[in-house]
Every structure is written in C-alpha cells, then in structure tokens.
Amino acid sequence: MRAPIALFVIATALSAQARETKRPLPAPAVAVEPVFDAEQAARQVRARMRSVRACYEHANRRDPGIEGKLRLGLELGEAGQIVAADVELDGLRAVADKSIATELTSCVRSQALTWRLAPEGPAGGVHLSYVFVFAAAY
C-alpha cells in the first residue's frame, strides 16, 4: 500500500515544480516487463494439435507404420510468434518410404511457423523445445 502513496507524493511534488517553471509534467517512468509463461506456451501448442494431427494422419495414410518422436526447437519473436522451428531430434520411422517421415517433419515445422505462443507480452529470444510423439491409435 505504501508504494502507490509514495508515487502519488512524487507526482504531486513534480506537479508543483512543473507549475512554477511552466514546463509540462514528465510522464512517470514505471515499466513492468511481463515474464514469459512457459506453461501458457505449452497450452498454446496443445491447442494447435489439430494441425499437427492432420500432418500425421496424412503421412499415416501413405505409410500406416510411421511412428516415433520429433523434437522441435522453437524460437519466439517479440510478439510471441514462432520465427524459427528447427528439428532437434528426428526419431520418426517410416516403414514403406523414408521420404514420408521427411514430409511429416516438414509439415509440422510449417504448421509451427504459423503459431503465436505468447499472446500476453513480449517473448523475443525465447527458445522452447517441444516433443511430438506419433503413434497409430488402434
């Protein structure tokens, strides 16, 4: 409670000084930098699983045995958008055609580049790693 009172007193003192010199009152320099919320970003990724699932279902139609893990490294820009999505671990295994695993990886990366994971503030320079596990549901 004391902080708002102190700010009010400072603003009043500056206001009196500004009236004496007929200069405009400077704007108070109170800036609170929001903290990046990794849990919120994970919720945002989970909310976009439909597009990742569509990538997998397309690959699975072409090669029903495709499965494995894919870990993407995601770099966030200032507005929380993904500016880079790099493969950190590619453990996808395709039975029929290895290029299908490559296409699945490319599809997931393309989808990730359309996401915005930090809608509540600046997140520039944040790096996240997210693991996707693909397996057919029987």
Beta bridge partners of 75: 84, 127
pLDDT at 117: 85
Q: Tens digits of per-residue pLDDT, 60-84? A: 999 999 999 999 999 988 888 899 9
Identify the pLDDT of residue 50.
95
Specify the CATH class of 36-134 in words.
alpha beta
Instruction: Evaluate the CA torsion angle 118, 129, 72, 60 in order and state its sign.
Output: negative
pLDDT in tens, 84-118: 999 999 999 999 899 999 999 999 999 999 998 87
